[in-house]
Amino acid sequence: MELRHLRYFRAVAEELHFGRAAARLHIAQPPLSTQIRHLEEELGVTLLTRSTRRVELTPAGVDYLAHTIAILDAVDAAGLHAQRVADGSVGRLSIGCVGSATYSVLPTFVRALRDRLPDVEVSIRGEMLAPDQLTALHSGDIDLALLRLTDDQPGLRVEKLRTDRLMIALPDGHRATRFDAVDVAGLRGEYFVAHAGGGRSVMNTILTTVCAAAGFTPHIRHEVAETSTLATLVAAGLGVALVPEPTSAIGISGITYRPLTSATAGVDLVAARRLDDPADAVIDRAHEVLREVTSPQRTPGR
């Protein structure tokens, strides 16, 4: 028995007329009649009663038709599902995200994924430092990483999404808030709240570099892993912080953000994924959406 036999039987059973069924199937009527007889012989039951004026289903035929429809519909659905998996419309996607982008890019990105790829199951791991994301990428725990990098990463495909301006986060009422921009050299002697050091955060390295260019070593009072915690400590008056501009999207009150007076370069936000990932189709589709929501035409930080 082949699927074509089931399709032949379904057509005859639904049309209750061999001529119309043959026309529907685009075959001649005699071969169709022969195939139905062969099907009945193989099953050992009569599915149809035939006369010169009409064709009717037997009780066995009525039952067999219900199962036939279910089988054929399941086969068609399986094919459609396979096609959607192949083109990235169905699947699973795990996303890791650095702190500042967790509160700026991620909400817009996830909403866009929900609209464009409603049948892709998305899981999120926000507030991840770059080394943690890289480890998760290589292990397969996440499929797509939004992070900040300073060097090449073998085994990964990395694409720059945008450059975020560097800002100084100041507690409300700090003396430097009266200026439109802040000279880093004027923060000598201030306590800093910083992202985790020891090579665990790109922003910690950038802070050290920027302060060194201004002629001093930052006095780091607190090191934290989460950007939300960093912002909370600044709002509490425990120090100032060097942050990417999208950090302001966190929306914690008690903080004033000011750009730097120097022409210090910003920090890149990049997307990283494994080379030759088995889930490439889903990641490709998601990456297209990510490019759109981080394009230069959109409002910075959104």
- CA dist 261 and 268 (Å) reads 19
What is the pTM assigned to this prediction?
0.70
Token pair 């795990």: residue: 94
Level-2 CATH architecture, domain 91-163+268-293? 3-Layer(aba) Sandwich (3.40)
Read off the pLDDT band of 297 (50, 70, 90): low
What is the pLDDT confidence band of residue 302, given thresholds at 50, 70 and 90? very low
Averaged pLDDT score across all residues of the chain: 89
Domain 3-86: CATH architecture, name and number where available: Orthogonal Bundle (1.10)
Q: For residues 189 and 302, which has the higher predicted lDDT (pLDDT)? A: 189
CA 229/CA 255 separation, integer angstroms: 13
Q: According to DSSP H, which parts of the chain are helical? A: 3-15, 18-25, 29-43, 59-86, 99-103, 105-116, 130-139, 202-213, 227-235, 280-293
Looking at the predicted structure, is the pLDDT value of residue 86 above 80?
Answer: no
Cα(first)–Cα(last) distance of the chain, in Å?
Answer: 58
pLDDT in tens, 3-26: 899 999 999 999 999 999 999 999
- Does residue 159 contact residue 271 with C-beta atoms inside 8 Å? yes
Give the residue extent of every domain in the chain.
3-86, 91-163+268-293, 166-265
Same fold, 91-163+268-293 and 166-265: yes
pLDDT in tens, 37-83: 999 999 999 999 988 788 999 999 999 999 999 998 888 877 777 77
CATH classification number, 166-265, choose in 3.40.190.10, 3.20.20.10, 3.40.440.10, 3.30.300.180: 3.40.190.10
Asked whether residue 32 carries a pLDDT value surpassing 90, the answer given is yes
* CA dihedral angle for residue 131, residue 137, residue 138, residue 139, rounded to 10 degrees: 110
